[in-house]
Amino acid sequence: MARTGERYAVARAHVLGASGGAGPVVDAGWTLRGGTDPDTAALANVLEHRGVTGPDWPLTEPLLLVVGGGLGAGYILWEFAHDDSRVVTLGFTHSWQYFDRRLATTVDRLGLDVAWSRTGGSGAAARALASTLAAGDPAIVWPDRYHVGYWNLPEHLDGHGGHPVVAYAGGGDQVHVDDRTLGPLTVPVAAVDRARARVGSYKNTMLVVRSSDEVVPADRLRAAVRDGLQAMVDHLAGSSTSFALPAWRKWSRLLVDQRAAKGWPTVFADRRGMLRALAGVWEGVEPAGMDGGHLRGLFADGLTQAAAVLEEPALAAEAQRWQEIGQRWHLLAETALPDDVPAIAEIRELTATVTGAVAEGDAGAAERTAAAEQLWRLRAEHADASPLDEERLASIRTAMSAQLAAIHEAETSAVASLRAVLSR
């Protein structure tokens, strides 16, 4: 994972062989299938559990990514005065800046029967989740990563939010949680309740799919897929320099701009926080991080499946473009956090170890705790003194700038080509 940036399940399959070892684990009647993108993996696993399918195929994670609007583009460099931190935020999905919009759009386009709960009070939210689980229904919830505990994050990340996970069973004082895991993962009820209540913008939100043993009609699925693809090309072709393809061009320029207030040479003139920013790029781009990465490969798989749904072979041909773009992103991540520097190689390996141990569930608890403690100690050690000298940092910024310019050009071309296919 540290070397290739792959998601844990993919790297594990390489090691264990094509079968990936034994079949998926079933815990409390719930099958743990893993996944890449938190939103679409959560929904795909819930729909599989509920017996909701397409007319001739399952509603897979790649296909749901397409239905929800596909890919996005986003770059923001935050500067926080209270702790003098500089944080890189990247967005790789449609509507990435809204925590619930993709899932809401996806279930609406598929015509699913769902129930949203947005209870403000912690007590009522806790009772609603407990009642849902007692009825045997899984729930998609949004916990704060620091308070949910199993990511073993440092205190300065308290309240930074998190991604959706599936709570699928309760038992005593524990909640069984699926965060793209392959083994049972349990979290104390009190920690789940506290984590769900922490972030005001999505406080205690819960999504429950009530559809069961249903087949989404072929015409509805075709419309959902086409609408998702159209939304993606319309959005990415927009003019926003934070939420559409121009974001990559802006980031490319700011990496080397000596005069811009938000230029990296200015923001990181003292080199403080530089390693955090570069590690944030690696974690954000590579599937080995917490968020699932750039998702260009997952979208390519979705295009291949969409070609069958829409009976449009040209979509399958477009998939290769996005696979190649995914490789460009991988090379960018490699450039941002080069593993020929021992401290950086260790940071990458520890990050991958934490993600992999989370995927193992409770069985990986000791490993992820130890790895996370070492990871954040090492990152703190280099917070003010990057292991990269100024000459190397300048070289990295220049190389990243050129790579991002090429990515912008490639994605712009790919979006135009996809638009041409859809307009036939």
pLDDT value, residue 383: 87
Place of tokens 């040479």: 265
Residues 74 and 156 in one domain: no
Nearest to 164 by CA among 199, 133, 129, 139: 139
Do 230 and 278 lie in one domain? The reply is yes
Q: Are residues 327 and 220 in the same domain?
A: yes
87-136 pLDDT tens trace = 999 999 999 999 999 999 999 999 999 999 998 788 999 999 999 999 99
Q: Is residue 197 part of a domain?
A: yes
Block residue for tokens 């141990």: 357
Residues 6 or more apart whose CB falls under 8 angstroms from that of 98 comprise none
> Whole-angstrom Cα distance, residue 238 to residue 249?
13
The per-type count for the chain, helices as H runs and strands as E runs, is 16, 10
- Rg, Å, the chain Cα set: 21
Cα atoms in the 13 Å half-sphere on the side-chain side of 213: 0
CA distance 179 to 201: 21
β-strand partners of 87: 78
Taking the model in full, what pTM does it have?
A: 0.96
Number of domains in the chain: 2
Q: Residue 413 domain-assigned?
A: yes
- Taking the chain (424 residues) in consecutive chunks of 10 residues, what is each chunk's mean pLDDT? 90 74 89 97 98 95 98 94 83 96 98 93 93 97 97 93 97 95 98 95 94 98 98 97 96 97 94 93 95 97 97 96 98 97 96 97 98 96 89 97 98 98 93
**Distant-in-sequence, close-in-space partners of 99: CB < 8 Å, separation ≥ 6:** 142, 161, 164, 201, 202, 205
Residues 176, 283 within the same domain: no
252 three-state secondary structure? helix
266 and 120 co-located in one domain: no
Do 168 and 264 have their domain in common?
no
What 8-state DSSP symbol labels residue 354? H
Q: 74 and 154: one domain?
A: no
- Is residue 235 domain-resident? yes
Q: Give how far the C-alpha of residue 134 lies from the chain's centroid of Cα atoms, to the nearest Å.
A: 29
What are the structure tokens assigned to 337, written together? 């956090």
Residues making up the chain, counted from first to last = 424
116-129 pLDDT tens trace? 999 878 899 999 99
Residue 377 lies in a domain: no
Strand partners, 117: 206
Residue 246 lies in a domain: yes
Residues 310 and 327 in one domain: yes
Last residue of a domain, one of 195, 210, 225: 210
Rounded-to-integer distance, Cα 148 and Cα 337, Å: 28
How many Cα neighbours within 13 Å face the side chain of 114? 23
Asked if residue 370 belongs to a domain, the reply is no
CA distance 42 to 167: 10
Question: What letter would DSSP give residue 215?
Answer: B
DSSP state of 1: -
**Domain extent at residue 196:** 36-48+114-210
pLDDT score recorded for residue 21: 61
Spatial contact of 229 and 421, defined as CB atoms under 8 Å apart: no
CA distances in angstroms from 143 to 9, 265, 274, 330, listed in the order given: 23, 35, 28, 29
94 plus 135 within the same structural domain = no
Asked if residue 233 lies in contact with residue 69, where contact means CB atoms within 8 angstroms, the answer is no
